[in-house]
Structure 1
Amino acid sequence: MTIRLHGFAAASAAALLTACATAAPPPPAVTAAAPAPQPARPKPQVGAFGFDVSGMDTSVAPGDDFFRYAAGKWADRTEIPADRSNITAFSVIAEMAAKRTRTIIEDAAASNAPEGSEARKIGDYFASFMDEARIEQLGAAPLKPELDRVAAIRTRKDLSRELGAALRADVDAINATDFYTDRLLGLWVAEDLNDTSIYRPYLMQGGLGMPDREYYLGDSPRFQELRTKYQAHVAAMLKLAGFEQAEARAARIMALETAIARQHWTVDETSDVLKANTVWTRAELAKKAPGIDWDAFLAAAGLQDQQRFGAWQDTAIAGLSRLVATQPMQAWRDYLTFHAIERGAPYLSKAFADEHFAFNGQALTGTPQQRERWKRGVDFTSNAMGEAVGKIYVEKHFSPEAKAKAGEMAQNVLKAFGQRIDALDWMSPETKAEAKRKLANFKVNVGYPDAWRDYSGLRVVRGDAYGNWQRAELFEYRRNVGKLGRPVDRGEWFMTPQTVNAIFAPSQNSISFPAAILEPTFFDPHADDAVNYGAIGGVIGHEVSHGFDDLGAQFDEKGNLRNWWTASDMARFKAETKKLADQYSAYEVLPGLNLKGEQVLGENIADVAGLATAWDAYRLSLGGKTPEAIDGFSAEQRFFLGWAQNYRSKYREAALRRIVVTDVHSPGPYRAITVRNLDPWYGAFDVKPGQKLYLAPADRVKIW
């Protein structure tokens, strides 16, 4: 649906009437007609004012459980779909975006577009994945070239060459969902942390088939059970591919991956950019990380000419390299064989895809049912040609008016954040000046990139689902490697327009909001402004605040990693953020399982500061007017309910446990109750001492 802002057509008509009057004014004796009545404001897509009142549970006092008050009945009536491990406000919008994207892709598949065109490639990629008969006919045959290479490995040089050839640009040091790859190492090509005018290739730890080192090393019954299931899954995959002695191979693979896990940094360590900002020269690789034949590795990876590398987890990379030299060659062949099968399984015959899901979906996240094939096909096609699909998506589903409204809100949020900096009583004038300079240099991206990615070099063959996936991965890898030595592209987007998410890029000093997140319940240009500012305004404020959280505060206005704080200001900042970490560490998500306050600190800083900034931005937008109550809810209440609506969520237990172990975001209900740190929330809902969420004024965390 194309959304138009209220008043756009009326304003155009008024301008036309004015032009006509200027050209031919009416005779003085003629009485001017009364102005045409303004059209009624279009109804919001959700509820009477943009909020789902029917989802509230008003039997609960907001001061005792604000998530339950705002979304309790929604939680009661909402079932997690059988093909998902959770359901959130994000996933509901993502489902709508997926259906829209499906139509775009299926139309492309049916269009008989010219050979080599983007539409043809989109259509052929999707159609190939949907051609189950062809995929079943091929069976395991698409794996043969890679498995033959692995079987031929005899020396450490051979092994290093294969590891280098398998390297892909599939990690992201700033995005916690992309910290790890199942390849032994991952490559991240991004701005040099010390000089953002140039790119640096970063090597990052990888090599695990389960989500995190804790799954291998943790002693809880849950982790022990998953290790048993994982080893059985490894054996099952090997059997499907026709390998004998699958159990013995699986035991060797499990032993090797456990050794790899012991070398890994934790999530908290990986998030520490000062600790991770290690530069190795080409010559230092062999000295600091002996074991891998780096000449063979880099030549196979197409990186032989690079003279400087980021070693993001330096001791882990050294440890992984040491394992290449010390672990049995047969274990490495088994390991590479399994991971080739595991990575390709979603694009192979049903037996492979089902076994892949049985562990990665059912065992790891508790998801009962595999997603429909078309949904997987839409995701895979978007992964391969995201901006080509996104170009069509924004033409059909994102209006210039929505882009303008969201951009206007973003500017109000930036202005409000600047005022908050000015009002800080604990920050020195020197640090304030640096903070304001950084804020003034923020770039806001709304909807879609200014320039679209070129896919002319990507070869897509109808009927070759597995090959299309491999070529798309290699295409993306080469695109990233191709950045090295070139000027930094400050306009690059790191998400597609059809992605439901938002991002702060510290080295760009930019925030981005794709078209697909600018939808109800997060944003509706026809909704009440209080709800919009609480919802998408809170998201915008969150991303702005990331520029000043425990990570972002280490980057200056050019995106360089540079300390711009006085020592006393940083000490005060850390003291206040520790209060927030302690607050979240006290939340018990499941019996005996608490959140890790330090792990989720950056996101929680952004939530607290972002929501406070969105509140100020909403007040700015009123221009001194006093908003009216709607359906018995004051503007203040509507604002905070809009925020809570962002984080409506339910999780399967296995998925919730995984989030606590691996994610830097708190689960949705705990993000909703960050309101307890904002003074206006207390007045809006008459929250009193003695209620469960009440915090004394001195205990409310105020960072920005």
Structure 2
Amino acid sequence: MKKYLFVPFVSLVLACGTSNSSKVEVAEEAQIPASFDLSNLDSSVSPCDNFYQYAIGGWLKANPVPSTESRWASFNVVIESNNDKLKAILEEFSTSQFDKGSMEQKLGDFYTSVMDSVQAEELKLSPLQSVMEQVDGIENKEQLIKLSAEFRTLGISSLFGVYVGQDDKQSDQYITHIYQSGLGLPDQAYYVKEDEKSIEIQQAYIKHISKMFELANMENSEGLAQKVYAIEKGLAEISMTRVERRDPDKTYNKMTIDELIQLSKNIDWNNYIRSVGLQNVDELIVSQPKFIAGLDKMMITIPISDWKIYYKWSILNAYASSLSSDFVNQHFDFYSKTLSGTKEMKPRWKRALAKVDGNIGQLLGKAFVARHFPEESKKDVARMVENLRTVFRERINGLAWMSEETKVKALQKLESFNKKIGYPDKWRDYAPLNIVADNAVQNIMNASKFNFEYMINKLGKPVDKDEWFMTPQTVNAYYSSSQNEIVFPAGILQPPFYDANADDAINYGGIGAVIGHEFTHGFDDQGSKFDHEGNLKNWWTESDRTQFDGRAENVVNQFNSFEPLEGLFVNGKLTLGENIADLGGATLAYHALEKELESKGKPEPIDGFNYKQRFFFGWAQVWHMNMTEEELRKRIATDSHSPGEYRVIGPLANMPEFADAFGCNPGDPMVNADSIKAVIW
């Protein structure tokens, strides 16, 4: 889940009686705390009409999307701050001498290699010559599948993917997973839709492929591009949709190697498994059997020559952003300009930093937390986590719609939640990874192989409960259903998400709601299907599950009604898990704040706002953002999160606590009628 933040403060005069709106006045003498900016407020809008516009309308007007971005939010501000810190680290490491094999040498040389634009222009396509020649040498399906395995180790998308991860029904064991892959557009829906916008993107994509082939000096580039697109469209047509993939029951399909071979006889699975470096694979989980069966048919109907063209495109597409400027510019023109509306490319140092972070991010994170993470923050956030857990426990016990039998199981799961804050207790050993200062593409290939081998070597070993799936510098947080854990990296534990100098209301509206969000993910439409040990196992009574599903469907219907652009609606089913987590997160955090203040005492209003109102400003500032129309359209199609505006007004319109704080009345836009009010956790 991604977060964005802002905080305003003014004095408020609440409407009384039968008025359907609240009026807001700004006190001229108000002293604004350092962590708040009064100009972010739009007092021309009533908080009871549209709290998002009221709370951050001023910020939205003052912060258009920069030319190098496709969206802009407080989230980006934190990333910019982190980037400056990470840049300083990398520049220090890249301009000083360190022992070969040291953390400093690997980070510094990786950064140096990507920053070297002169060498990139000289090398052009030559760093990919060897793997392109491997494609030329393909003569049969067996070689095709074997090279697909090699592609996977190099980070090249092709045909299908493989990884080693926990078994959803035996979470104490690792197992091999096979899943659908192979598309160059963001989602399978891009290939199958026939509206005007979709057709424009499809045509632009074909043109982009053609231009890339032309840059690679391949003849008949337009014809080759058509062949690539035809293959990808075929893959898209047999792919599961994003909504379907959200159901863990549908994606859990365990089978033996022999059963997989029976499903797809034209794919040499034993050859593939050996080629990726896996051994002793008796069983696998095939996430999308329909895709694998469909791919098997495509292996018969599509000639080897066409597959070879597709493979060459996969190579170019994977490494284009690391080649000479002509490839880099063309890649940017389609993926950033056309798909996301970004006008200008980021400066080279930011792109180089992203390459380092994306390939050896935990090594970079080790250097980051050594310099920039105060232990006091870790302790305070850990305390808040336990406060949220206490409130969640009380709310589960008080649920009128849930039976005692199911409550026992829900509480067992809640008590089993593990929390991780800041950074890992142990760091990955990067000693085997070779990094040089004069070959960016080779460094990326080496890192891809290193990371892939690290992952597949888990097979047959005990599950590592200490592993982190996010780097410490990441401005984000997550819940893992298989580990039953919530994780808050150091990157998000800083202003404006968390501020040690801010009042409790702001911190609970910010990082508190983030904590509540991740807790609630364990009980959303997906997480609720996993038990306290992280196993995909039903722990609900039939009637309670029916109750939950009905309440979840209410959330789906609410968000389906949101229309960010004319004719473009939020997908309530795709975003259901995040919307449930937002509603639960805000609710839990609000009541955790109330509990915190029971012992401390209620604070005096600040600039005319009481602590209840300040809490909701803290929530609104998490999600403020501007984005281009192109980015918005892409996210509606692909993102499991609703746009920022609806992450604010959607949950709050269901919360009587919000209506009480701002004096909103039944019938106001920010007050859902009792008949449709969503109440789950």
Deviation at 1:462, TM superposition (A): 1.2
Deviation at 1:154, TM superposition (A): 1.0
Matched, 1:151 2:136: yes
Work out whether residues 169 and 480 of structure 1, in 8 Å CA contact, stay in contact via their aligned partners in 2. no
Work out whether residues 366 and 652 of structure 1, in 8 Å CA contact, stay in contact via their aligned partners in 2. yes
Work out whether residues 292 and 325 of structure 1, in 8 Å CA contact, stay in contact via their aligned partners in 2. no
Work out whether residues 80 and 87 of structure 1, in 8 Å CA contact, stay in contact via their aligned partners in 2. yes
Matched, 1:404 2:379: yes
Q: Which residue of 1 aligns with 2:539?
A: 564
Work out whether residues 652 and 670 of structure 2, in 8 Å CA contact, stay in contact via their aligned partners in 1. no
Q: Which moved more, 1:322-331 or 1:391-400?
A: 322-331
- For residues 617-696 of structure 1, what are the structure 2 equivalents within 5 Å? 617-624=592-599, 625-673=601-649, 674-696=651-673
Deviation at 1:687, TM superposition (A): 1.1
- For residues 269-288 of structure 1, what are the structure 2 equivalents within 5 Å? 269-288=244-263
CA distance in 2, matches of 1:366, 1:182: 24
Matched, 1:468 2:443: yes
Matched, 1:99 2:47: no
User: 2:116 is matched by which residue type in structure 1?
Assistant: D
Q: Which moved more, 1:683-692 or 1:250-259?
A: 683-692
Q: Which residue of 2 aligns with 1:36?
A: none
Q: Which moved more, 1:402-411 or 1:181-190?
A: 181-190
Percentage identity across aligned positions? 38
Classify the secondary structure of the residue corresponding to 1:199.
strand
Matched, 1:505 2:480: yes
Deviation at 1:491, TM superposition (A): 0.8
Deviation at 1:135, TM superposition (A): 1.2
CA deviation digits over 1:94-140, x for unaligned, max 9? 11111111111111112211011111000000000001111111111
Classify the secondary structure of the residue corresponding to 2:653.
helix
CA distance in 1, matches of 2:280, 2:293: 21
Q: Which residue of 2 aligns with 1:320?
A: 295
User: 1:117 is matched by which residue type in structure 2?
Assistant: S
Classify the secondary structure of the residue corresponding to 2:281.
coil
Deviation at 1:316, TM superposition (A): 1.1
CA deviation digits over 1:325-362, x for unaligned, max 9? 32121110110001101111111111111111111110
CA deviation digits over 1:464-501, x for unaligned, max 9? 00000111111111100000000000010011011000
User: 2:406 is matched by which residue type in structure 1?
Assistant: T
Q: Which moved more, 1:621-630 or 1:566-575?
A: 621-630
TM-score scaled by length of structure 1: 0.91
Deviation at 1:64, TM superposition (A): 0.9
CA deviation digits over 1:376-396, x for unaligned, max 9? 111110122211111121121
Work out whether residues 289 and 321 of structure 1, in 8 Å CA contact, stay in contact via their aligned partners in 2. yes
User: 2:669 is matched by which residue type in structure 1?
Assistant: K
Work out whether residues 502 and 514 of structure 1, in 8 Å CA contact, stay in contact via their aligned partners in 2. yes
User: 1:696 is matched by which residue type in structure 2?
Assistant: A
Work out whether residues 153 and 448 of structure 2, in 8 Å CA contact, stay in contact via their aligned partners in 1. yes
Distance 1:47 1:237, change over 3 A: farther
Classify the secondary structure of the residue corresponding to 1:198.
strand
Work out whether residues 629 and 635 of structure 1, in 8 Å CA contact, stay in contact via their aligned partners in 2. yes
Q: Which moved more, 1:190-199 or 1:51-60?
A: 51-60
User: 2:429 is matched by which residue type in structure 1?
Assistant: D
Which residue of 281, 296, 314 maps to 1:306? 281
Work out whether residues 165 and 297 of structure 1, in 8 Å CA contact, stay in contact via their aligned partners in 2. no
Matched, 1:424 2:399: yes
CA distance in 1, matches of 2:89, 2:648: 34
Q: Which residue of 2 aligns with 1:40?
A: none
TM-score scaled by length of structure 2: 0.94
Q: Which residue of 1 aligns with 2:157?
A: 182
Q: Which residue of 2 aligns with 1:37?
A: none
Classify the secondary structure of the residue corresponding to 1:611.
helix
Deviation at 1:610, TM superposition (A): 1.1
Distance 1:679 1:169, change over 3 A: farther
CA distance in 1, matches of 2:491, 2:310: 39
Deviation at 1:304, TM superposition (A): 4.6
Q: Which residue of 2 aligns with 1:115?
A: 100
Q: Which residue of 2 aligns with 1:370?
A: 345
User: 2:608 is matched by which residue type in structure 1?
Assistant: G
Work out whether residues 667 and 673 of structure 2, in 8 Å CA contact, stay in contact via their aligned partners in 1. no
Which structure is richer in relative contact order (CA contacts within 8 A, separation 6 or more)?
2
CA distance in 2, matches of 1:644, 1:316: 41
Deviation at 1:288, TM superposition (A): 1.2
Q: Which moved more, 1:138-147 or 1:687-696?
A: 687-696
What is the aligned length?
649
Matched, 1:242 2:217: yes
Please, what is the CA RMSD of the aligned residues? 1.3
Classify the secondary structure of the residue corresponding to 2:564.
strand
Deviation at 1:301, TM superposition (A): 1.2
User: 1:495 is matched by which residue type in structure 2?
Assistant: M
Classify the secondary structure of the residue corresponding to 1:576.
helix
- For residues 202-241 of structure 1, what are the structure 2 equivalents within 5 Å? 202-241=177-216
User: 1:128 is matched by which residue type in structure 2?
Assistant: S
- For residues 52-201 of structure 1, what are the structure 2 equivalents within 5 Å? 52-168=37-153, 182-201=157-176
Structure 1: runs of 5+ lacking an equivalent: 1-45, 171-180
Deviation at 1:684, TM superposition (A): 0.7
CA distance in 1, matches of 2:232, 2:328: 22
CA distance in 2, matches of 1:126, 1:47: 41
CA deviation digits over 1:615-651, x for unaligned, max 9? 1111111134222111101100000010000001011
Classify the secondary structure of the residue corresponding to 1:677.
coil
Work out whether residues 71 and 631 of structure 2, in 8 Å CA contact, stay in contact via their aligned partners in 1. yes
Deviation at 1:371, TM superposition (A): 1.1
Which residue of 522, 525, 541 maps to 2:516? 541
Deviation at 1:147, TM superposition (A): 0.5
CA distance in 2, matches of 1:655, 1:169: 28
Q: Which residue of 2 aligns with 1:494?
A: 469
Structure 1 stretches of 4+ moved >4 Å: none
CA deviation digits over 1:200-259, x for unaligned, max 9? 111110111001111111011111001111111101111111111111111111111111
Work out whether residues 154 and 445 of structure 2, in 8 Å CA contact, stay in contact via their aligned partners in 1. no
CA distance in 2, matches of 1:694, 1:542: 21
Which residue of 246, 261, 268 maps to 1:293? 268
CA deviation digits over 1:285-309, x for unaligned, max 9? 2101232121222221112531111
Structure 2: runs of 5+ lacking an equivalent: 1-30
Classify the secondary structure of the residue corresponding to 1:623.
helix
User: 2:134 is matched by which residue type in structure 1?
Assistant: R
Q: Which moved more, 1:611-620 or 1:298-307?
A: 298-307
CA distance in 1, matches of 2:602, 2:675: 29
User: 2:165 is matched by which residue type in structure 1?
Assistant: A
CA distance in 2, matches of 1:684, 1:386: 42
Work out whether residues 165 and 175 of structure 2, in 8 Å CA contact, stay in contact via their aligned partners in 1. yes
